[in-house]
Amino acid sequence: MKKILARGIAAAIAASFATGALATEWNVSLWGKPRAFTAHVQKLAELVAEKTNYEFIITLNYGGLSKNKENLDGISIGAFEMAQFCAGYHRDKNPTITVLELPFLGVNTLEEEVAVSNAVYAHPAVQKDLARWNAKLLMPSPMPQYNIVGRGEPVKTLDDFKGMRVRATGGIGKAFEAVGAVPTSVTATEAYNAMESGVVDTVAFAPHAHLAFRTIDIADWWTENLNPGTVNCPVVVNIDAYEALTDAERAALDSSIEEALQHYVDNYKQLLMKWDDVLAEKNVTRVRLDDGVIAEFRARAADPIREQWIKDMSAQGLPAQELYDLVQSTLKAQRGN
């Protein structure tokens, strides 16, 4: 598919020179390298190109346009037309969507993550929040629950987390802080070096990121059932660029989102099926914490952090309780279906 897309782009460029017509070209600011986390953006670009006969080209850029913590700023000034970012990188810039990063939210599957993200993204307060950055929420990057990898002796009790330096952002970082750990928000691309050099003791990631950023390569152990939550990393587009599209281009983009997301989910499930083999190959010990430890972790982190989030966001004039309730009602409806 990538070769076909490349040939199509080359043909579109050749045709534009011949006819004098220029294709619409968008740049997407990503980071790292092509991986499960970016599979939907790749698929979206392929679908849009095919639907428009390569007259609308979306080019993926991995780190060449902006730092990952500055992607929302780049969108706001129109430095590029599309970008991916994570809410926990700058919680003050996107407070409404941080509801999706609360610890122990209760989301169990990728399909549920898509459903709750889409519901929150569609809320008027959330759209207004992101519009401050000239950003339109296009689609989520659904991820499973995070777990941590570490070196040396594995954790067994909550006391083992005291003083532990853990790479964790957003609500996950807050959860670890609640049990005495010291969260640090080094970026995903910095995580390997931070762990190798001892700047952090452990790293919290979803499986694809442990692979993509190689933290699993230097890990001695992995917690298979801690599941404190996940991060929310939307794909956004510059509002002006979106509104400047022709009706046909906009239809091609909008109609490709659902298929791109399904491709992402299917691709990620294949990765999860291989995870056990990866752990065995790299001699990583699977750590399964006792149910009592998990229950104590949840008691210290879930309710207090949620209530504080609702209080803080409400003080900013945001419908915090309404957003949290929307997540829970969406989960209920999704499971009912």
**Helices vs. strands in the chain: H and E counts, helices first:** 13, 11
Strand partners, 183: 166
How far is 307 from 311, CA to CA, in rounded Å?
6
Q: Which residue has tokens 């169990």? A: 108
Query: Dihedral through CA 56, CA 123, CA 326, CA 208, nearest 10?
Result: 30
Q: Which residue has tokens 């609308």? A: 56
Other C-beta atoms closer than 10 Å to the C-beta of 266 total 11
How far is 35 from 63, CA to CA, in rounded Å?
14
Which are the contacts of 51, defined by CB distance < 8 A and separation ≥ 6?
252, 255, 256
Other C-beta atoms closer than 10 Å to the C-beta of 115 total 21
Kindly write down the DSSP assignment for every residue of 187-225, as one continuous string.
-GGGHHHHHHHTS-SEEEE-HHHHHHT-GGGG-SEEESS
How far is 278 from 95, CA to CA, in rounded Å?
36
Amino acid at 221: W
Domains, the chain, ranges and CATH? 2-141+232-270 (3.40.190.170), 147-230+281-336 (3.40.190.170)
Residue 16's pLDDT is 47
Asked if 33 and 81 count as a contact pair (C-beta separation under 8 A), the reply is no
The pairing of beta strand 82-84 with beta strand 24-30: parallel
Asked if 213 and 35 count as a contact pair (C-beta separation under 8 A), the reply is no
Residue 169's pLDDT is 85
Kindly write down the DSSP assignment for every residue of 165-187, as one continuous string.
EEE--HHHHHHHHHTT-EEE---
Residue 123: how many CA atoms within 13 Å on its side-chain side? 24
- pLDDT tens over the chain, length 337 residues: 444 455 445 544 544 444 446 899 999 999 999 999 999 999 999 999 999 999 999 999 999 999 999 999 999 999 999 999 999 899 999 999 999 999 999 898 999 999 999 999 999 999 999 999 999 999 999 999 899 999 999 999 999 999 999 999 888 999 999 999 999 988 889 999 999 999 999 999 999 889 989 999 999 999 999 999 999 999 999 999 999 999 999 999 999 999 999 999 999 999 888 999 999 999 999 999 999 999 999 999 999 999 999 999 999 999 999 999 999 999 999 998 6
Asked if 53 and 40 count as a contact pair (C-beta separation under 8 A), the reply is no
Amino acid at 326: L
How far is 264 from 103, CA to CA, in rounded Å?
23
Phi, psi for 38 (deg, rounded to 5): -115, 10
Residue 9's pLDDT is 52
